[in-house]
Structure 1
Amino acid sequence: MAIDELGLKLKEMYNSAPGGEQATFIHLFGIKYGELILNNRYSIAEIVKKAGIQDSYKTEVRKGVKLSKYVTVKI
């Protein structure tokens, strides 16, 4: 998956999050795609930029990517 596609996935997850759960879904994105992001050395800043969401969400994606080493997605 290319960085553009990851940006679209992040945007979709952010926009589909239930009210007040946007940060949670950004963490979930990082967990779900963390291995891909790490293995390809993709820039989290670039993914967030491609998603068109606030720059400050880089930190939340980073948290999810770190969690991806320890947890799995249930849904």
Structure 2
Amino acid sequence: MTVSELGKILSEMSQNAPHGKRVAKIHLFGVKYADVILRNGFSVKEIVTASGINQSYETEVSKGIKLSEYVLPKE
């Protein structure tokens, strides 16, 4: 998986989030893809830039990555 692919996924998750749930979906992205991001040494900044969402959401993706040590997403 590439930074561009992750950016596309992040963009879709963000855009398709129900009203008032955008930040939660961005956290979920961080949780779901933390392993890929960390294993490949990808930059959160580059992923957020590739997604086209506001750069301020870098913090929220980072929070999701940190949460990934403690939570599992429901599927």
Normalising by structure 2, report the TM-score.
Answer: 0.97
Alignment size in residue pairs: 75
Partner residue in 2 for 1:66: 66
Once the two structures are superposed, what CA deviation does each residue of 1:8-41 show, in whole Å capped at 9, x if it has no partner? 0000000010001100000000000001101111
TM-score, with structure 1 as normaliser: 0.97
Aligned residue runs from structure 1 range 1-75, under 5 A: 1-75=1-75
> Which stretches of structure 1, 4 residues or more, deviate above 3 A after TM superposition?
none
Q: Residue type of the partner of 1:65?
A: I
- Segments of structure 1 that go 5 or more residues without pairing to the other structure are none
CA distance in 2, matches of 1:13, 1:46: 17
- Quick one: percent identity of the two aligned structures? 52
Q: Distance in 2 between matches of 1:69 and 1:31?
A: 8
Gapped regions of structure 2 (runs ≥ 5): none
